[in-house]
């Protein structure tokens, strides 16, 4: 890709002798004081359901994305995402032993019961203040949004299979009984509504090819395109960097899931002119140009979302992806060949692995070479 570089002489003179570090500024929420593109995993989803009028947050101006939901709260939000005011007529009804007329959640619970979305417990209770699990949420969502599913044993397999096929389940979930928080709820509802408007793929971006399934939940398997974890709230794509102000180091996410950190350096103040006319400067640790808006910067080149390219330091393939409005590089994790691996049929085998080649010939990988003996067929 042709690069257009402008020398910013005045800026360079001003910067001489200074140790410069560049950092991406977080996008701030239009609605909440505790939500921005760095601190909230589901920033885009929270903004979307707020714009749609589905949620309003708390009186203190916060959203509290990590707060766990109870059954009444979840039901209210899902019903308001799909219905206008049909539920309001149920506010004076008592439909469960623990759901009295006039409670803030009564209209939602009794409307849902009347519509067959919920049935409650055998003791004629709904337990509105109980925390709600993933599978309970998925079942209610599939009912309210009118997705057909098979009756299965266990009861939650049918709804989970449908939600998985549609890619509605947030990637944070690793078990059936994991509780739902407000951020994850925003993501699930946004996925459903974006699917209805044929915008799900655009919303998911780089997460399109990743989905939670019954099997991943059953085996407690984490499904995620994100490779590097700085802490429990900060994740980075391959090639993404951050400046550690405490250690004065610049750290970059590597394709093996680790960070490479080096002392910060002074970069020249050149500018790369992006397709949209904006300019970006150089950043550490290698003084490469920062990515243009909506693009990825990797090994000195700019890539559009969807572009695939080789990882120059391994045999992995990388892709420029968009996850929740955050554009970055995601690379595959495959075992690269080395002096001890053997190749057969476009696949690589590790030291000591065996494979039958041809007719009844078993070969074993031995220090990068195949050691073969004849196995007579019977």
Residue 117's pLDDT band, with cuts at 50, 70 and 90, is: very high
Do 349 and 246 share a structural domain? no
- 347 domain-assigned: yes
Token output for 295: 């693009």
Rounded Cα gap, residues 57 and 181, in angstroms? 13
Q: Is a pLDDT exceeding 80 seen at residue 328?
A: yes
Q: What is the pLDDT of residue 218?
A: 94
- Per-residue pLDDT at 71: 96
pLDDT band of residue 231 (cuts 50, 70, 90) is confident
pLDDT score for 222? 80
The last residue of a domain, from among 165, 198, 218: 218
What SS3 class is residue 11?
A: helix
Whether 209 is in a domain gets the answer: yes
Residues 62 and 197 in one domain: yes
pLDDT band for position 7 (50/70/90)? very low
Cα separation of 288 and 196, whole Å? 41
Query: In the predicted model, what is the mean pLDDT of residues 54-82?
Result: 93
- Say what the pLDDT of residue 270 is: 73
* pLDDT tens digits along 268-312: 667 788 888 888 887 765 677 888 888 988 887 889 999 988 877
Instruction: Note whether 97 and 157 are same-domain residues.
Output: yes
Question: 90 and 121: one domain?
Answer: yes
Domain assignment present for residue 38? The answer is no
* Residue 6 pLDDT greater than 60, yes or no: no
> Considering the domain boundaries, does residue 37 fall inside one?
no
pLDDT (tens digit per residue) in 189-198: 999 999 999 9
Q: 36-48, pLDDT tens digit by residue?
A: 765 556 888 999 9
* Same domain assignment for residues 60 and 174: yes
252 with 308, same domain: the answer is yes
* Residue 32 located in a structural domain: no
H or E element in which residue 158 lies: helix 157-165
Task: Give the confidence band of 253 by pLDDT, cuts at 50, 70, 90.
Answer: confident
Rounded distance, CA 54 to CA 193, Å?
A: 11
Query: Packing angle between helix 71-82 and helix 134-144, nearest 10 degrees?
Result: 30
Last residue of a domain, one of 196, 218, 240: 218
Instruction: Compute the mean pLDDT over every residue in the chain, rounded to the nearest whole number.
Output: 82
The tally of domains found in the chain comes to 3
115/96 same-domain check: yes
Residues 326 and 348 placed together within one structural domain of the fold? no
Which of these ranges, 134-138, 286-290, 312-316, 324-328, has the smallest mean pLDDT? 312-316
Instruction: Provide the pLDDT for residue 176.
Output: 96
Give one DSSP letter per residue of 241-307, joined into a string. Answer: EEEETTTTEEEEE-TTS-EEEEE--PPP-EEEEPTTS-EE-EETTTTEEPPPTTEEEETTEEEETT-
Cα 71 from Cα 140, distance rounded (Å): 10
Q: Which of 1-5, 213-217, 243-247 has the highest mean pLDDT?
A: 213-217
Opening angle at CA 196, ends 192 and 202, nearest 5: 80
Q: How far is Cα of residue 79 from the mean position of the Cα atoms in its chain?
A: 25
The answer to whether 329 and 240 have CB atoms below 8 angstroms apart is yes
Q: How far apart are CA 337 and CA 343, in angstroms?
A: 8
Residue labelled with tokens 């059953």: 218
Is 212's pLDDT higher than 90? yes
Same domain, 261 and 192: no
pLDDT at 344 over 60: yes
- Confidence (pLDDT) at 232: 67
pLDDT of residue 26: 46
Q: What is the pTM of this model?
A: 0.58
169 pLDDT more than 90: yes
Say yes or no: 276 and 319 in one domain: yes
User: What is residue 9's three-state secondary structure?
Assistant: helix
Residue 36 belongs to some domain of the structure? no
Tell me, yes or no, whether 118 and 231 share the same domain: no
241 and 101: one domain? no
Read off the tokens for 91.
């506010």
At residue 239, the pLDDT reads 66
Report residue 42 as tokens.
Answer: 């589901």
352: in domain: yes
Its domain, for residue 188, covers: 43-218
Assess if residue 117 is contained within a domain: yes
**Model confidence band, residue 168 (pLDDT cutoffs 50, 70, 90):** very high
Please spell the DSSP secondary structure of 46-64, one letter per residue.
Answer: HHHHHHTTS----TTS---
The more confident residue out of 237 and 259 is 259
């Amino acid at each position: 890709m042709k690069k257009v570089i402008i020398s910013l002489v005045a800026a360079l003179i001003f910067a001489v002798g200074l140790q410069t570090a560049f950092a991406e500024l977080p996008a701030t929420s239009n609605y909440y004081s505790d939500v921005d593109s760095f601190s909230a995993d589901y920033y885009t989803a929270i903004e979307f359901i707020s714009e749609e009028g589905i949620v309003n947050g708390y009186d203190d101006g916060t959203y509290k994305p990590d707060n766990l939901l109870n059954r009444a709260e979840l039901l209210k939000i899902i019903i308001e995402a799909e219905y206008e005011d049909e539920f309001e007529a149920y506010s004076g009804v008592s439909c469960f032993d623990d759901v009295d007329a006039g409670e803030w959640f009564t209209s939602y619970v009794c409307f849902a019961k009347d519509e067959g979305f919920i049935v409650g417990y055998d003791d004629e209770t709904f337990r509105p203040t109980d925390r709600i699990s993933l599978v309970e949420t998925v079942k209610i969502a599939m009912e309210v949004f009118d997705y057909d599913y098979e009756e299965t044993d266990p009861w939650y397999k049918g709804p989970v299979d449908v939600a998985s096929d549609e890619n509605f389940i947030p990637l944070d979930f690793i078990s059936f009984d994991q509780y739902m928080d407000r951020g994850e709820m925003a993501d699930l509802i946004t996925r459903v509504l974006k699917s209805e408007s044929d915008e799900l793929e655009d919303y998911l971006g780089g997460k399109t090819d990743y989905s939670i399934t019954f099997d991943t939940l059953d085996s407690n398997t984490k499904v995620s395109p994100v490779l590097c974890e700085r802490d429990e709230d900060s994740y980075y794509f391959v090639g993404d960097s951050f400046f550690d102000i405490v250690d004065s180091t610049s750290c970059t996410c590597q394709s093996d899931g680790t960070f490479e950190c080096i002392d910060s350096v002074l970069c020249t103040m050149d500018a790369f002119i992006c397709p949209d006319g904006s300019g970006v400067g150089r950043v550490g640790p290698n003084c490469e140009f920062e990515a243009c808006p909506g693009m990825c910067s990797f090994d000195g080149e700019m890539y559009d979302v969807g572009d695939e390219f080789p990882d120059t330091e391994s045999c992995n393939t990388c892709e420029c992806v968009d996850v929740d409005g955050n554009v970055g590089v995601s690379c595959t994790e495959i075992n690269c060949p080395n002096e001890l691996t053997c190749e057969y049929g476009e696949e690589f085998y590790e030291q000591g692995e065996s494979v039958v080649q041809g007719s009844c010939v078993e070969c074993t990988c031995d220090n990068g070479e195949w050691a073969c003996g004849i196995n007579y067929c019977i």
